Amino acid sequence: MKPVADCVIHHLAAAALFPRPYRGKGTPVGWEVEERPHVSIAARAGTIVWIGPAGQLSDEVTLAADCRFVNGAGRLAVPGFVDSHTHLVYAGDRSDEFEMRVQGRPYLDILAAGGGILRTVEAVRARSEEELFDEAAARLIEALAWGTTTIEIKTGYGLDLPTELKMLRVIDRLRRELPVRIVATFMGAHAVPADRRADPDAFVDEICRDWIPEVAKTGLAAFNDVFTENKAFSVAQSRKILEAGLAHGLRPKIHADEINVLGGVDLAVEIGAVSADHLLMTGPAGIARLAGSGVIPTVLPGTSTYLMEAHHAPARAMIAAGLPLAIASDHNPGSCQFLGAGLVQTLAMLQLRLTAAEALIAGTLHAAHALGQGDRLGALEVGRQLDAVLLEATSIRQIGYRAGQNLVRQVIIGGQPVFQA
């Protein structure tokens, strides 16, 4: 029986397909991209039901009476980009810190001048939900214009329960009012507030005892994240926070090995984290630990670039070890203002030495796995959601090559056109 379609992207110049998509723990990682020419893509109720030669559409697909047609002539279709690590909801401006950093001022000087994460915390606490929503919505619309169809947004600029819940409500409103797919992550363990540093264990106990149950009760977060680092949270504290989240239905994520190797990767594997992120300092032992674990290693080339680090995450070694590497923007007010998916693709190629195919897969399919949604998002394949970006390009190689140039002309999410340049 022929599939029935209510949405068709017709007469594409080409579509970027993944012949060997990674399907989760225990399956091999494929890095090939097939640029199949002269195809159409058909979907029903947002799910792809057929991909094939444009000339065979009418023979092989039954078109519903109200079928929507999207003209793909001259366009290259790629899967919608997935940004699996952002801090998109924030307030305030830290451009002065950026300039100080460029001038070589050490981070402690920036902190002494009133900068750093706690500056953002003060700004977020002072803003109303409406103000936070308006600022975040503008950023989200920009991300959509660059082809991001799914995005993760963390809390973590409240560091008290009322503000963390306020951030979750803002994220939920963004999810309800804008067309981008949004995944919320609770990150109350982003930093230790200045007034709690005398007894950080008591702060951790409060997060586990009071905050996590309350967050879980709202149903507004899917994940629970923690910053495992010196002057943030130890491995033991991180384990306690992540286990508390698991007990209340929040899946674990972890910021690991960004500045120091403390054992965050070991903890991620031990606890079954969906992803371990940053991994700037991860060495051969950490890579071996991740191999076959099912934890998605997520690296953030924009952050190491923005912070002018001497080196970047060992992406090539991770790929050589067979890891399903993901990339994300880490957009935030202090250490990374990159947001556009095309820019992240460029940085992945320039800084991490990924090929165009590797960068595309890392920023779509593997990033979807980093959100636990790799079975339904991140690739143009029958059975997956029709999240597609139509580019004014002849090859995926042009995405990273044309640095800073937005090639996106149309965005479709769940079979619905939501953006046109």
DSSP β-ladder status, 275-278 and 251-256: parallel
Binding residues for 4-imidazolone-5-propanoate: 94, 157, 190, 258, 335
Measure the CA–CA gap between 300 and 205, rounded to whole angstroms. Answer: 30
Measure the CA–CA gap between 419 and 421, rounded to whole angstroms. Answer: 7
Measure the CA–CA gap between 12 and 293, rounded to whole angstroms. Answer: 38
CA distances from 107 to 162, 200, 313, 328 (A): 29, 22, 21, 24
Binding residues for Zn(2+): 85, 87, 255, 330
Measure the CA–CA gap between 404 and 411, rounded to whole angstroms. Answer: 18
Binding residues for N-formimidoyl-L-glutamate: 157, 332, 334
CB neighbours of 126 closer than 8 A, spacing ≥ 6?
A: 91
Angle at Cα 286 formed by Cα 280 and Cα 288, nearest 5°?
Answer: 130
List the end-to-end C-alpha distance of the chain, in Å, as a whole number: 37
Measure the CA–CA gap between 194 and 56, rounded to whole angstroms. Answer: 65
Measure the CA–CA gap between 184 and 253, rounded to whole angstroms. Answer: 12
| Six token digits for residue 32 | 């090939």
Binding residues: 85, 87, 94, 157, 190, 255, 258, 330, 332, 334-335
CB neighbours of 111 closer than 8 A, spacing ≥ 6?
A: none
The residue whose two tokens read 């998109």 is: 88
- The greatest distance separating any two alpha carbons of the chain, rounded to the nearest whole angstrom, comes to 71
Measure the CA–CA gap between 295 and 83, rounded to whole angstroms. Answer: 17
Binding residues for Fe(3+): 85, 87, 255, 330
